[in-house]
Amino acid sequence: MNIEQTLAILIFAAMFITIMTDKVHRFIPAVIGGGLTSILILAAVDPGPEHLWHVLRVYDFSHWSWWYHTGLAESHGTHVIPSGPEIGGVNWQTIVFIGGMMTMVEGMGHTGFFRWLCLWVARLVNYKIVPILIAFMLLSGFLSMFIDSITVLLFLSITTIELARLLKFDPVPLIIAEIFAANVGGSATMCGDPPNIIIGTALGYSFADFAANTGPVAWIGMIFALVMFYFFFRGVLSQPAPDSEPGIPRTYPEPREAITDNRLFKIVSAIFLFVVLLLITHDRSGLTPGFIGVIAAGFTLLAMPRHMKTIMKGVDWRTLVFFLGLFVTVGGLEATGVLDKLANQIGDASGGDLMVVIPLILWISAIASGIVDNIPFAATMVPVIRSLSKPVAEGGLGLPLPTLAWTLALGTDIGGNATPIGASANVVGTAIADREGYKITWGRFCKYAIPAMFVIVGICNIYLVLRYG
């Protein structure tokens, strides 16, 4: 192992460990890791600064195929968007798409859309606590198919706590269940969980590709999750919260009270439905996810010019910077050949047998994503599975890339449920609960999440082997 590879591993490991400690926001170690990678490795590796240029990939925006790609219409998931050099580098599709969706969601939140939706669902089940658990799990899973799970937990956990104070129950079980449902539901499509966005945009898979391949098992898993969490929490939720006062109010908030501006509410709802339609059909239309993100942000800002400053301040810019630093750091591992070595080790361990590779990648991804944030793990593994899919003549194993992609997506998405730091949605949900005075300990979270995670990953294992074996 040469000095560049050693440095790349050390920088990446230091970044990963710092993210795991959760002492500082994760964008700080990512930026430092990206900066050190750029200075110490990429600019020094033969052929010099050219590697850094290909990792940063700013030139992508000048290519028509970045915005509109006709090949998607014919490929149905088998086409890889042209990436020039072998180095994947910064995935601007992911960054721009997430940024655009954040902007749209901020606009929707400003009009009260999400609070209205939660109150409407609660009223639909007559404000009964156990039915609210089931309904909010389904709502969390469904919305996470179209909006990133971080945003879903942001508004859902706040509304859950509001209802808990109103109806006098402990919100912690609901928040744990909602986190789990968001990650499971998010695994069903390309734009649900951030790992899927990374995998889909890097390998050229569409919303429909994910829905057809990970969608069925995601919703089978959701049914099992609903049953498990019902039995986990039905006893707890039938008892009042320890610090609650007796008596349940006879009047409940009306969903329409959540709407701050009726005209803008209708406009942003229409924009949301339009963007969902673009996502569902983008493999046919050829519009790339990045371009759809630009459309979502552009329409939202045009519809709400007076609130533009507030909306832009509400966008989580630190997370977008985190993605940028992460992709540069992973690009260093790829440029120095570290990830090719990892792919070779997986190939050697499996003997090139797909029936061994599937459970190997699935369970490694699931367990690793429970220990560390699943976003950097997914970003690291994308070049690895791409390497495994290369023809044998080019040093790969010739394994089908789509199968490896679905395996990685399910492993990282479902495995991220295991601990409070396994996925970004977990961090957001538990942080909001803690801020509002409802601390979710590791012990309480893992007591329910780990058994459910193992059951659903096991179901995914059976599904993948039967369907793609």
Q: What's phi and psi for 377, nearest 5 deg?
A: -65, -45
| Lowest model confidence (mean pLDDT) among 87-96, 388-397, 409-418 | 87-96
Q: pLDDT, tens digit, for every residue of 4-20?
A: 788 888 888 888 788 77
Give the three-state DSSP class for 366.
Answer: helix
Residue 85 has a pLDDT of: 38
391 upstream amide cis, omega within 30 of 0:
no
Q: pLDDT, tens digit, for every residue of 438-452?
A: 888 888 999 999 999
**Residue 127 backbone zone (phi > 0: left; psi -120 to 50: alpha; other: beta):** left
Does residue 234 contact residue 130 with C-beta atoms inside 8 Å? yes
Reading the block at residue 400, the tokens are 């089908």
Residue 167 has a pLDDT of: 84
CA atoms of 137 and 252, how far apart (whole Å): 21
pLDDT band at 354 (very low <50, low <70, confident <90, very high): confident
pLDDT band at 48 (very low <50, low <70, confident <90, very high): low
Residue 178 has a pLDDT of: 94
Query: Using CB atoms within 10 A of its CB, is residue 74 exposed (0-12), middle (13-18) or buried (19+)?
Result: exposed
Buried b (16+ CB within 10 A) or exposed e, 291-303: bbbbbbbebbbeb
What does the pLDDT average to over 351-356?
A: 84
